[in-house]
Structure 1
Amino acid sequence: MNGSRRRSTASPFGAGRIVFWRGGSLWIGHAARETENHAHHAIQITLALAGGMLRFRQPGQAWASYGAAIVAAHASHAFDARDTLVALVFVEPESLEGRALRERYPDGIASLDGGLLAEQADWLAASYARHDGDEALASCAQAVTTGLSSMHHSSPKPLDKRIARAIDLLRERLADAVQMSEIADAVHLSSERFRHLFLQETGIRFRPYVLWLRLEVALARYEAGSSLTEASHAGGFADSAHFSRTFKRMFGVTAIGVQRA
């Protein structure tokens, strides 16, 4: 993220890089403080790089420490990775790998065997230290997802083709006001059947999913150097305040507090 536009009095959450690809993203760097409680649509694979430790807390519970952990989609949690290099690999639950992970880790926060992902974690840390390009970082992060999902003993059921097509249409039309009835009609389903099937296949209702996609677009633009206002409009938010509120609710920190290293 472009530090020249970030002269805010708000205390920064941390510094690092964010890289996106279809079906996921990587957030890697150092955090300066813990997040507030939050929940998001993505499955979150979290690795403490270079031998560090992480802490997670679920509502009503005490902090617990991990070397590596996975957070289920929509699981409320707070996160603390101060004093360590950390990688957060976000996986869309409706992707093929996400569906495998969702079956194996359906709820809450689970500890992962860091030894099984040690090679991929080392690749990530080395790529980040070399200041590799986004494509190289994404490749390292996707190796984490592939490695973990391949431990699933059975192949997950593919996403329903009608819902897969609906998601493609949504991504194409995010610049406009998106109506569920139009998307349902485009994939030859009634609105009621589409509503039920969409929730069943993705684990999220239609309108919150559209908001999640808009947040992804806005954040990618913000990471690329756009102002908060420009990024908000690119994602289809009414204004930067709406984008900022949504970001904090889903990630537990302010967007302006995430800085590029």
Structure 2
Amino acid sequence: MTRMATEPLPDSCCDDARPTVWLWSGHAAYRGPSLRLGTHSGSVTCFALGLDAPFLLRSGPAEPRRVRSALIPARTSHQIVVGEEQTMLFFYVDPGASGTAHLLAAMTDRAGTIAYDHRDEAALLADWRPVMDPEMLRQRLLDAGEANPTDERIRVAMRLLRDRPGERESAAELAAAVNLSQSRFLHLFSAHSGTSFRRYRLWARMRYVAAAVSQGADLSTAASDAGFASPSHFSDAFRAMFGLTATQLLSNQLRIIVMEHRAVDETLTSS
């Protein structure tokens, strides 16, 4: 079993070089070494930024590209290759949040499945050099003031999955909770989220595990409570989603900060 020691930490900022994960109610961010990631396919969209230098991105039959930033959609198999000492930033975008369309529009090369070259790369890098402030990053990437285009019923279902992933909600149960047939629910979920119901449920469970570990839970117990059938189920799912094992990530003096003061979906939390 893996247990992570915790210590008092500020809610948003980090002033040292230790690898860190920040968790919002649906988003997540990681800043730290690249960790030699294998080929993987995320459950939600990921924004990648090379904090020290450009990185090589491989995906499918296309030629690898060396870039400083990329927006990688959910369920897109890829590999990021960088030097061992290079620091990366990954921001995982909850598909039910406002601002996701703004992030895509900010990528200047949108010709393929993966979008490249954020128009404000220099400003993003400058933000992260003096003070590591993930809330500033979240605001710069996502806060555009536009209405949330996601169907309200799907946003409700996403919130239910995030709030209680360990209860193993089935598609049929959530469809009934938002007054939809199962087939209509699954169709709307994929159409509005850019990922599948199964993959988003997996994302919600992973976030639950990380939050539990940040509070001192051991990894096996946290995974079981989140709804994973066995330790091997969790381990296989984690590697497929992130390109390494959870144990590899936690063994690197990682710290996890839960950003509880900021909800992803302000429309729902204020209603």
Aligned counterpart, 2:100: 98
Contact 1:49 1:122 in 2 (8 A): no
Write the distance in 2 (CA, Å) between the matches of 1:53 and 1:93. 26
Aligned counterpart, 1:27: 30
Aligned counterpart, 2:46: 44
Aligned counterpart, 2:54: 53
1:140 aligns with 2:130: no
Write the distance in 1 (CA, Å) between the matches of 2:38 and 2:31. 19
Instruction: Tell me how far 1:248 sits from its aligned partner.
Output: 0.4
Q: Which of 191, 196, 211 is matched with 1:205 structurally? A: 196
Write the distance in 2 (CA, Å) between the matches of 1:91 and 1:106. 20
Runs of 4+ more than 4 Å apart: 1-5, 102-107, 154-157
Instruction: Tell me how far 1:224 sits from its aligned partner.
Output: 4.6
1:238 aligns with 2:229: yes
Distance of aligned partners of 1:120 and 1:193 in 2 relative to their CA distance in 1, 3 Å threshold: same
Instruction: Tell me the TM-score normalised to structure 2 length.
Output: 0.76
Distance of aligned partners of 1:207 and 1:31 in 2 relative to their CA distance in 1, 3 Å threshold: closer
Distance of aligned partners of 1:157 and 1:146 in 2 relative to their CA distance in 1, 3 Å threshold: closer
* SS at structure 1 position matched to 2:129: helix
Aligned counterpart, 1:121: 125
1:108 aligns with 2:113: yes
Write the distance in 2 (CA, Å) between the matches of 1:239 and 1:203. 28
5+ residue gaps, structure 2, are 7-17, 255-271
Higher helix fraction: Structure 1 or Structure 2?
1
Q: Which of 237, 243, 260 is matched with 2:253 structurally? A: 260
Summarize deviations over 1:217-237 as a string: whole Å, max 9, x none. 113333554322122123221
Aligned counterpart, 1:10: none
Q: Which of 182, 189, 194 is matched with 2:185 structurally? A: 194
1:72 aligns with 2:77: no
Instruction: Tell me how far 1:126 sits from its aligned partner.
Output: 2.8
CA RMSD of aligned residues (A): 2.8
Q: Which of 184, 189, 208 is matched with 2:175 structurally? A: 184
Instruction: Tell me the TM-score normalised to structure 1 length.
Output: 0.78
Contact 1:41 1:92 in 2 (8 A): no
Distance of aligned partners of 1:71 and 1:205 in 2 relative to their CA distance in 1, 3 Å threshold: closer
Contact 1:47 1:69 in 2 (8 A): yes
Name which structure has the greater RCO, CA cutoff 8 Å, separation 6+: 2
Instruction: Tell me how far 1:202 sits from its aligned partner.
Output: 1.4
* SS at structure 1 position matched to 2:130: helix
- Whichever residue aligns with residue 137 of structure 2, its letter is A
Instruction: Tell me how far 1:250 sits from its aligned partner.
Output: 0.8
Q: How many residues align?
A: 236
